[in-house]
A and B are shown apart, each in its own frame.
Chain A
Amino acid sequence: MSEPLVELRQLHKSFGNNHVLRGIDLSVAKGEVLCIIGPSGSGKSTLLRCVNLLEQPTGGQVFVAGVELTHRDCDIDKARRATGMVFQQFNLFSHLSVRDNVTISLRKVLKMKSTEANARADVLLNRVGLADKASAYPAQLSGGQQQRVAIARALAMEPSVMLFDEATSALDPELVGDVLGVMRELAEEGMTMLVVTHEMGFARNVADRVIFMDGGVIVEEGKPSQVINEPREERTKKFLANVLEN
């Protein structure tokens, strides 16, 4: 395997006395799709948020595309451009139209001309199936549509890795499929992805590798067929029994 695109070394994170991440070592290769599963409170979202330093780790190192984000001389605003993030609550900018949501970082961060930025936005909106909603405002869209705009917005900066933080957990069940469909296409195009999810079907069918987290450590990792179908660890078995029961 070539040099990893994302690498975490001995990552620790505490909130006060709450030790959420207890020494995570993880590397993700270019083009790999990694799904992170585990019970709530296991630290999986915190882990993801440490990859683009939305959470400042209390110990350890984070490397993305060869840059150490945890280094004190790191220009974090610039380094974050290598990552795109999709949030559970979408977090679209409610005062901007769909098109402006996608172009704002291009215009304000990359200083791209409006015409050029709009052209890129139209390509991306087409790709997520929302070309006809470019002039709409977020409040006029369904949750599933909002989340697809959020994916387009994150892709606009042409990141080398995409981070999905429970991207479908806030959606009505019938809207989940559209968003997962866009994510699957992205994976098939070779995008490197870290996906925190409760969608076991997605993990089984799309992921190259699955890690199961509990209590701030990686309990088990491997091929999805192995981790999900034939878990070795007791804690993994118990979690999957609970999840798959429903």
Chain B
Amino acid sequence: MNMSRRQRLRLVRGGIYALTIAALALLIVSVDWGALGGALFKWDVVKKQFPDILTSALRNTIIFTIFGFIGGLSLGLLLAIMRLSKSKPYRWFAASYIEILRGVPLLVTLLILGFGIPIATGWSWPNPYLQGAVPLALVAGAYIAETVRAGIEAVPRGQMEAARSLGMSYTRAMVTVIIPQAFRIIVPPLTNEFVLLIKDTSLISVLGVTERTLDLARFGRNGVNDSANATPLVVAGLVYLALTIPLTQLAAWMERRSKVGRR
């Protein structure tokens, strides 16, 4: 056949489009949409989720996220400074902490700290919120530490030298010159850490927290049990998206802006 390269390419692409459309059409025809909609998005079940899903479940998810983030950020900052310290034991401690808590699945850490330690020691968590939020913060700290460290290392060396040449101590220079600039660099990745944390709070539901502290995921699961219908989980998923999509868009916007602003 006498076809140019471009003609062949168009033919192949047209074939792929046609196949895709045919497959989609087959799917649309063969699925029983009424039954699927009834199982995943039934209006009267959707309505029953409100207002509790917002006033209780969303509120608890936000509480866990904020506690986890503030705790993780403080811990991450401390660990990052330790990792960059001149003292070998500090560096070693921070590096081991980060490696271990990033290497163990969050679910396992949650179970060890939430169940294992109370069972082994007879000690019990004074507050069901802490039982979920503390393990979350300890793990978030390990991830945030690496982000903060990258931020500190991205600040040009000359900034520290200039600060020291003005008579600032290492610590003073870190606090007044280096860390403020590092934070400007890491706001977008930190926003992404925050989004991950929102989603990770769903794992807290394995700890079988009390009625009062149900998060979005557990609320949805309980809703499934009550209604014998998957709609509550779909609604919970939509509420997660309502939280996470604006934040990831914000992070992407900040990243684009900082690229334009940098010289």
Contact = CB atoms under 8 A, between A and B. Distances in A.
Q: Do A and B bind each other?
A: yes
A108 B172 contact: yes
Interface string A3-32: 000000000000000000000000000000
Contacts of A94: 159, 181
A78 B167 contact: yes
Contact of A77 (B162, B167, B181, B261): B167
B175 to A, nearest CB: 9
A83 B162 CA distance: 12
A72 interface: no
A154 B166 contact: yes
Contacts of A46: none
Nearest to B162: A91
A80 B159 contact: no
Contacts of A47: none
A85 B180 contact: no
Contact of B156 (A83, A91, A104, A157): A91
A70 B263 CA distance: 38
A241 interface: no
A83 B164 CA distance: 11
Given A108-B172, A139-B263, A91 B167 contact: no
B127 interface: no
A153 B168 CA distance: 13
Given A54-B164, A85-B165, A91 B158 contact: yes
Interface in A72-101: 77-78, 80-81, 83-85, 87, 89, 91-95
A239 to B, nearest CB: 27
B161 A95 contact: no
A87 B181 contact: no
B169 interface: yes
Given A91-B156, A91-B158, A91-B159, A104 B176 contact: yes
B263 A154 contact: no
A118 to B, nearest CB: 17
A95 B166 contact: no
Contacts of B166: 80, 84, 104-105, 109, 153-154, 157
B161 A54 contact: yes
Contacts of B159: 91, 93-94
Interface in A106-162: 108-109, 139, 150, 153-154, 157
B259 to A, nearest CB: 14
Q: Main SS of the interface on chain A?
A: mixed
A80 B158 contact: no
A197 interface: no
Contacts of B180: 95
B177 interface: yes
Q: Which of B163, B165, B181 has the most CB of A within 10 A?
A: B165
Contacts of A153: 166
A89 B165 contact: no
A52 B163 CA distance: 12
B168 A108 contact: yes
A238 B177 CA distance: 43
Contacts of A78: 167
B184 interface: yes
A80 B158 CA distance: 16
A84 to B, nearest CB: 7
Contact of B172 (A52, A89, A109): A109
A77 B169 contact: yes
A87 B164 CA distance: 13
A81 B184 CA distance: 29
Given A91-B156, A91-B158, A93-B177, A84 B172 contact: no
A80 B165 contact: yes
Given A52-B165, A77-B169, A87 B158 contact: yes
B167 A89 contact: no
B236 to A, nearest CB: 40
Nearest to B170: A77
15 contacts: A77-B167, A77-B168, A77-B169, A80-B166, A84-B165, A84-B166, A87-B158, A93-B163, A93-B177, A94-B181, A105-B166, A108-B168, A109-B172, A139-B263, A157-B167
Interface of A: 52, 54, 77-78, 80-81, 83-85, 87, 89, 91-95, 104-105, 108-109, 139, 150, 153-154, 157
